Amino acid sequence: MDQQNLYRVAGQFSLEGEMIEAVPYGNGHINDTYRITCRTKDGMRRYILQKMNRNVFVRPEELMENECGVTEWLRKKITEQGGDALRETLNYVPTHDGAPYLKEADGEYWRVVLFIENASCYDLVEKDEDFYQSAVAFGRFQRLLADYPADTLHETIPDFHNTPDRLAKFEAALQSDVCGRAKEIPEEIRFVLERRSLTHVLTDRLQDGTLPLRVTHNDTKLNNVMFDNESGKAICVIDLDTVMPGLSLYDFGDSIRFGASTAAEDERDLSKVSCSLRLFELYGKGYLEGCAGALTDAELELLPMGAIVMTFECGIRFLTDYLEGDHYFKIHREGHNLDRARTQFRLVADMEKKLPRMKEIVDSLR
């Protein structure tokens, strides 16, 4: 997107001051994100401008209805508890017409949020303490939304964490093999098919009522939380596109998948990839604290399985996208989704070995 167009789009929102810069920003896999800088009378004002991914979110109006509802709720609770709602949740900036998002003539949808200043986002755990802080933040996020009217939330991506459905989609992609890539990846295919039964572990327990449905974030990777540069505390959970009814195990599991890995999600040297039990324990401790006693015995028991299933599911999704020609996740190199799938499967295999130890750790935290 060229600068002129970015300026034109951003100019339709109620920004303060004169726009002086628009640059691509962040490492998200889904939306097109830009940082906008404006010069004001007394300094600078920055914003995040995002083009919502229409391929992923087919009903952006519903997406924004969810996000406005959830952030309004959070703003109220944060303020009541003496927090700073301008930094501790997302704040949407309206268009000049007072709308929370912009629909362009070409059918694209855009939104603007206040840039959270003096805060950072991490793609890898640099300090153990950060991972612990992110756990407290995601646990607290869930607690703040515990009494949110879940029936008002739209399902922004149907079957998002329906792992058996993810497997079915993988099998369909394998069958069609539109890019002729299946022949290159026999080992990865075998890895998935050998573990079919794993996909049911959480959904079966949801269906039989063992696990409670909650309002969850559903995309709890480390770079979806912002840390205050001064206090080091995780202050704001971002990327609210997938806030929907779900399982606490989705949130816990996805955080472990991304943050407790000893390597990046797209690391090519698989010998570097493993699940750190130290980070698993740290996250578990923070998450239980953040949830403040809300988790049931059944949820606690299944936390380690949650990590395995979510990692497996994510690997299946990356591999499906690879087979289908990389049209879901943004890629930055040839074979990027395959590399990502391989790290996830390496993690699954490692977690399977470490499962008894992971269970002991959770028991020690209860």
Closest to 140 (Cα-Cα) out of 71, 234, 228, 210: 234
Pick from 242, 248, 337, 344: which binds ligand GN1 (CB under 6 A)? Answer: 242
3-state secondary structure of 295: coil
With binding defined as CB under 5 A, does residue 188 bind Mg ion? no
Residue 89: name its binding partner from ligand ADP, ligand GN1, Mg ion, none (Cβ under 5 to 8 Å by kind): none
Task: Return all residues near 175 (Cβ < 8 A) that are at least 6 apart.
Answer: none
Q: Tell which positions 35-94 bind ligand GN1, by CB under 6 A.
A: 56
With binding defined as CB under 5 A, does residue 28 bind Mg ion? yes
Q: Tell which positions 240-259 bind Mg ion, by CB under 5 A.
A: none
Task: Return all residues near 330 (Cβ < 8 A) that are at least 6 apart.
Answer: 28, 29, 30
Closest to 354 (Cα-Cα) out of 285, 258, 275: 275
Site pattern 134..173 for ligand GN1 (x: CB under 6 A): ----------------------------------------
**Closest CB to ligand GN1 among residues 28, 306:** 28
- Assign residue 180 a region (left: φ > 0; alpha: ψ between -120 and 50; beta: otherwise): left
With binding defined as CB under 6 A, does residue 111 bind ligand GN1? no
Pairing of β 234-237 and β 102-103: unpaired
The Cα 153–Cα 67 span in angstroms is: 9
The CB-nearest residue to ligand ADP is: 28
Residue 111: name its binding partner from Mg ion, ligand ADP, ligand GN1, none (Cβ under 5 to 8 Å by kind): none
**Closest CB to ligand GN1 among residues 28, 139:** 28
Stretch in the footprint of ligand GN1 (CB under 6 A) among 38-46, 81-89, 235-243, 276-284: 235-243
**Closest CB to ligand GN1 among residues 254, 361:** 254
Q: How far is CA 185 from CA 38, 192, 206, 336, 342, in A?
A: 48, 11, 33, 14, 10
Site pattern 277..316 for ligand GN1 (x: CB under 6 A): -------------------------------------x--
The Cα 122–Cα 365 span in angstroms is: 26
Residue 246 and residue 213 in contact, taking contact as beta carbons nearer than 8 Å: yes
Contact footprint for ligand GN1 (CB under 6 A): 28-30, 56, 219, 221, 224, 239, 241-242, 254, 265, 314
